[in-house]
A and B are shown apart, each in its own frame.
Chain A
């Protein structure tokens, strides 16, 4: 169980004005002030849950993750991860967690990943046999083979990231803190990392806390999301409910036999797009059945498709707005 209670973090930063005068003033009379990164956040996470942290750049999600894994100390408030206070970094706690940061590496650059894996195995006190079994098991799940014996610098970004994940999970942690684990990966590599994490969660029952800019990561892995805006929590719940509350409408895409004027569609819903024979309408859920029925009656239609607006678009709007209706 992870408990976060009224957690806040402030960073002290110096403010410098531009120009020579500003530089002199900054040198002799430096002015610092506290910038709130996370403010008064509380939530609980049960064992085995997969939770996504959503927020724009600088929202405070990575700071929150770093406090939960014990990397940085909170300014105020409390974090409890499985009965441990993370910032104390007790050995028993460190053996239960791992932190994976996209494009930040712990593997030794000029040596094959296997060397780093054996260092990690020794750090976590695994026997040679245990280490071999776990490396083989994880390598199979991550589809890694001879890449593990090639110098890290010769690996592709995707292979490197998978090797990083392998190194981070070698000690079978029960809590995974993943900060942008698919950052910079191509679509196929992202999909492989996602399916691995899903499989790892199913096999081990590990709790996964994930931040990502790719909505596909969140939708594929996280039934629950925590949204943060300017350091404050403004939504904690399941992703489907978030999508519903963000968009009480659905998209109706229509392919017509012949082009029609836009005025003809105004009474059915908000016109999102009109291009020759193709029309995309935003229709409120309560009117959906009636509107679809009327469209089929009033127009000569070849095809009709009803869908939710893309979650990326909704979340993007949410970040700008900073609140859920």
Chain B
């Protein structure tokens, strides 16, 4: 059995090894999980000023949305540009480029392993949130959970490909993590991390849905929290962005490796 041209054994070995590696850093990962509490800060901000009502959301709806945004963010967070830049500048990328495995698969494996390590911490934070806000407790239905899981994985894939596109610029700029800011700012405002997209004026909303950002947090979070959402068009947009980004990364990567100078190696 092969997935993306990789044998099941290779996938299993990469994931288990990376998971073992991540467990070495479990405290650091717990801190990273805790550092992702921005949605809770936004929740307390919006709920205290009763702004939620202007979004068409009750306090409970707002609480569920931001908890869902937190969970989606935990499992779609991406740092490939930073790892790649470090590996590229230190020369660690060189042996990876000379193995019959695309180096990006190693980064995918480390992200997935990190997500598995984050899981218990994310659950613990969610439980704490419910203890502090018992009225917001809900259990999504199984189909809801499945669709939220799927859309979160698609969100992760889009985020990973977007950052890989920037990471590939390392072959040209050497400091492509600076360019990552160009993605991070629109991500912060248009993904739904600070505020649900329904709060935006209609002209901003019309622009936002043309970008990949609303499908990174807003769309999966709405599914998970049980808010009304256009599931068909949401998944269609996610698949479309993945279909555009995969060949784009592939082309940029192929052009980039021709310029690779193996600095530091």
Contacts and interface: CB of A to CB of B under 8 A. Distances in A.
Interface stretch (B7-15, B139-147, B188-196, B200-208): B7-15
B97 A71 contact: yes
B13 A119 contact: yes
B20 A99 contact: no
A69 B97 CA distance: 10
B91 A101 contact: yes
Contacts of B95: 99, 101, 104, 106, 168
B133 interface: no
A279 interface: no
Interface residues of A, number: 33
B265 A94 contact: no
A125 B24 CA distance: 27
Interface in B88-110: 91-92, 94-101
Contacts of B137: none
B184 interface: no
B94 A95 contact: no
Given A66-B262, A106-B95, A115-B17, A122 B10 contact: yes
Contact of B100 (A91, A101, A110, A111): A91
B98 A122 contact: no
Interface in A192-221: none
Contacts of A119: 13-14, 17
Contact of B98 (A11, A99, A125): A99
A106 B10 CA distance: 17
Given A101-B91, A119-B13, A94 B24 contact: no
B17 A108 contact: yes
Contact of A110 (B13, B21, B258, B259): B21
Contacts of B10: 122-123, 125
Contact of B99 (A66, A87, A110, A123): A123
B32 interface: no
Contacts of B94: 66, 71, 99, 101, 104
A97 B91 CA distance: 18
Nearest to A121: B13
B92 A73 contact: no
A150 B52 CA distance: 55
B260 interface: yes
B261 interface: yes
Given A104-B91, A111-B21, A111-B24, A70 B14 contact: no
A8 interface: no
A73 B171 CA distance: 13
A208 B13 CA distance: 30
Contacts of A125: 7, 10
Interface string A116-153: 10111111110000000000000000000000000000
Contacts of B261: 11, 72
30 contacts: A11-B261, A66-B262, A70-B98, A71-B98, A73-B260, A87-B258, A89-B98, A94-B99, A97-B98, A98-B98, A101-B95, A104-B94, A104-B95, A104-B264, A106-B95, A108-B17, A108-B21, A110-B21, A118-B13, A119-B13, A119-B14, A119-B17, A120-B99, A122-B13, A123-B10, A123-B99, A123-B100, A123-B101, A124-B100, A168-B95
Given A110-B21, A118-B13, A123-B100, 10 more contacts: A66-B94, A73-B258, A94-B99, A98-B98, A101-B91, A104-B94, A104-B264, A110-B24, A115-B21, A116-B17
